[in-house]
Amino acid sequence: MKGSAELTASPEASESMWHKFIIAIGLLGLADILLYDQTLGLSFPIFAAALFAASLLANHDRIHRPRAILANIVLVAGLLPAIEDLTTLSVLIVVLGTISAVALSTDPAAEGLLVPLSAARQLLLIGPFQLIPDTLATLRANDFARIVLTWSIPLALSLVFILLFAAANPVIEQWLDELHPQHIASSLSVGRPIFWLLMVSLIWPFINLRWRQRGKTQRPPIDLDGDQAPSVVSPLLNQQTVVRSLILFNLLFAIQTALDGVYLWGHAALPNGMTYATYAHRGAYPLIATALLAAAFVIAAVRSGQEGSRLIRPLVYLWVGQNVMLVVSSIQRVHIYIESYLLTQWRIAALIWMALVAVGLILIMARIILEKPNAWLVRMNLLALAATLYGCALVNFTGLIADYNVTNSREAGRSGSAIDRDYLSSLGTQALPAVRRAMLLLPQDAGLPRIHNRLLDQQVAEMASWRSWSFRGWRLQRYLDRHPLTQNPS
């Protein structure tokens, strides 16, 4: 019966939790005023005293009155060194004094010299991770909050996708600029929300005290029939949440796909000051991050068993298809950038990675259609990764890059950038054929013969010993022997 009571919260318990949330938010506001972006001094012991008082206020039914005087003495003794001067040692004393005072006031089992250690473990190490489960459980107990909760995932992820699309697409960025978000951003730095999140996670275990008695194990709540209670995160991926998410995501991705069709494939005029190369380079990596986040959501939705719905399944197919198009657009962006700025090893790696993401998305769709378990999806992705890595080990990427960069350079009459001698030199001996072609294109360049001779000496040294012999090096040597230079490189 105890488990049933825990599972079905009374209206009074639900109201009490809301009061605790209000107290925690008030303390968070005080922490923002006293601690954020401030030089710490007296503000730190003031906040510690306020945290102690708020903890007693939120848990007044737990106060152990015979030890209240001792707890206050411990608190004052802990605050005095920080009032004298705030140092690393005095901060540590404040922390230990505050958590010890809270434990002595509210934990009947708190006694002995191990009180600070036990309180630190429960309030500072375990407690901060309880904020999200407690929040979800409280929201689930309220009808209106449950409706808000089912919209939280769709709206939050939609905002993330919009920001990623804005980073990838200057048109969407212009649309957002017209909303003047800079007015909000000017007063909200990146560090402030992080500070809020960390502080409210540290504050919450003091407000919603949950002392664990040594030797007693915490069991999951049990309902009246003896079954385990549902997970507190179950509302996050119910059918309504998944349907709303997929509808919003498909609409957002359709806008991005249409804009890519106009600018990337249709070559429409870009906004002022934006070249196609810049547009392509800017958008490739945010779109891959978008596709990976989308794939993670689909896997989570599928794992929750929601893909069986007649409405969800076609929405998932449509969205995965749009994500595949997103990856194809990312590959096209990198291709456009390569046409202007030539190849590098990182750009080839990016293309291979994008292709693997596309394969992963297709495998997700195959897993749903074939009704395979997630273990099958993991195995197939690992197989695709292993096959790709094995194939890459057999490809002469350095020779391919060097040959492409010289063949498509400005000196060869193509649209690429000028030949980068330093990068050719860094590619090693496999760049020798390309270096020779570059010497014919730039006969007056004195640096290329020096690079050629250095690489040639390195090649001769590697072929001189069987220990450094390789089949790729042998093929290169055959090429050099059959295609001697028509002029002296020196």
Rounded to the nearest 5 degrees, what angle is found at the Cα of 365, between the Cα atoms of 359 and 366?
85
pLDDT tens-place string over residues 321-351:
888 888 888 888 888 788 878 888 888 988 8
Domain that holds residue 26: 2-133
In a shared domain, residues 414 and 285:
no
**220 belongs to a structural domain:** no
**HSE toward the beta carbon, residue 93, CA cutoff 13 A:** 18
Of 349, 346, 345, 438, the closest CA to residue 398 belongs to: 345
Please tell me whether residue 185 adopts helix, strand or coil conformation.
helix
Residue whose entry in the numeric block shows the structure tokens 């294109």: 441
pLDDT tens-place string over residues 368-396:
888 888 889 889 999 999 999 999 999 99
Contacts of 5 (CB under 8 A, 6+ apart): none
**HSE toward the beta carbon, residue 27, CA cutoff 13 A:** 30
**475 belongs to a structural domain:** yes
In a shared domain, residues 269 and 337:
yes
pLDDT tens-place string over residues 27-71:
999 998 988 888 888 888 999 999 999 988 888 888 877 788 888
One-letter amino acid at 228 equals Q
Of 28, 467, 419, 411, the closest CA to residue 204 belongs to: 28
159 pLDDT above the threshold of 80: yes
413 pLDDT above the threshold of 70: yes
CA 160 to chain CA centroid, Å, is 11
- Distance between CA 306 and CA 312 in Å, rounded? 7
In a shared domain, residues 329 and 471:
no
Of 63, 39, 40, 43, the closest CA to residue 53 belongs to: 63
Please tell me whether residue 24 adopts helix, strand or coil conformation.
helix
87 pLDDT above the threshold of 80: yes
**228 belongs to a structural domain:** no
In a shared domain, residues 389 and 401:
no
Contacts of 485 (CB under 8 A, 6+ apart): 436, 439
Of 11, 24, 16, the closest CA to residue 206 belongs to: 24
Whether the full predicted model's pTM is greater than 0.85, yes or no, is: no
- Distance between CA 202 and CA 196 in Å, rounded? 10
Please tell me whether residue 475 adopts helix, strand or coil conformation.
helix
**200 belongs to a structural domain:** no
Q: What is the DSSP string of 177-220?
A: HTT-THHHHHH--SHHHHHHHHHHHHHHHHHS--PPPTT-PPPP
Domain boundary among 86, 103, 133: 133
Domain boundary among 81, 100, 133: 133
**166 belongs to a structural domain:** no
How confident is the model over 107-135, as a mean pLDDT?
Answer: 78
In a shared domain, residues 49 and 27:
yes
- Distance between CA 192 and CA 195 in Å, rounded? 5
Which pLDDT value is given to residue 46?
92
**175 belongs to a structural domain:** no
414, 339 contact by CB (below 8 A): no
Please tell me whether residue 228 adopts helix, strand or coil conformation.
strand
Handedness of CA 192, 232, 158, 178 (dihedral sign): negative
In a shared domain, residues 242 and 319:
yes
Domain boundary among 86, 108, 133: 133
Which whole-number Å values give the CA distances from 365 to 105, 176, 290, 312, in the listed order? 56, 33, 17, 13
Which pLDDT value is given to residue 70?
87
Which pLDDT value is given to residue 387?
94
190 pLDDT above the threshold of 70: no
In a shared domain, residues 407 and 384:
no
**201 belongs to a structural domain:** no
In a shared domain, residues 375 and 277:
yes
What dihedral do alpha carbons 41, 46, 48, 51 form, nearest 10°?
A: -150
- Distance between CA 114 and CA 136 in Å, rounded? 33
Lowest mean pLDDT among 294-303, 428-437, 445-454: 294-303
Calculate helix-pair angle for 345-370, 397-407, nearest 10 degrees. Answer: 120
304 pLDDT above the threshold of 60: no
Which phi and psi (to 5°) does residue 469 adopt? -70, 145
**209 belongs to a structural domain:** no
Exposed, middle or buried by CB within 10 Å (0-12, 13-18, 19+), for 334? buried
Q: What is the DSSP string of 60-109?
A: GGG--GGGHHHHHHHHHHHHHHHHH---HHHHHHHHHHHHHHHHHHH-TT
Q: How many domains is the chain partitioned into structurally?
A: 3
In a shared domain, residues 444 and 464:
yes
In a shared domain, residues 380 and 245:
yes
In a shared domain, residues 402 and 371:
no
In a shared domain, residues 297 and 417:
no
- Distance between CA 428 and CA 459 in Å, rounded? 9
Of 57, 78, 70, the closest CA to residue 104 belongs to: 70
- Distance between CA 490 and CA 485 in Å, rounded? 11
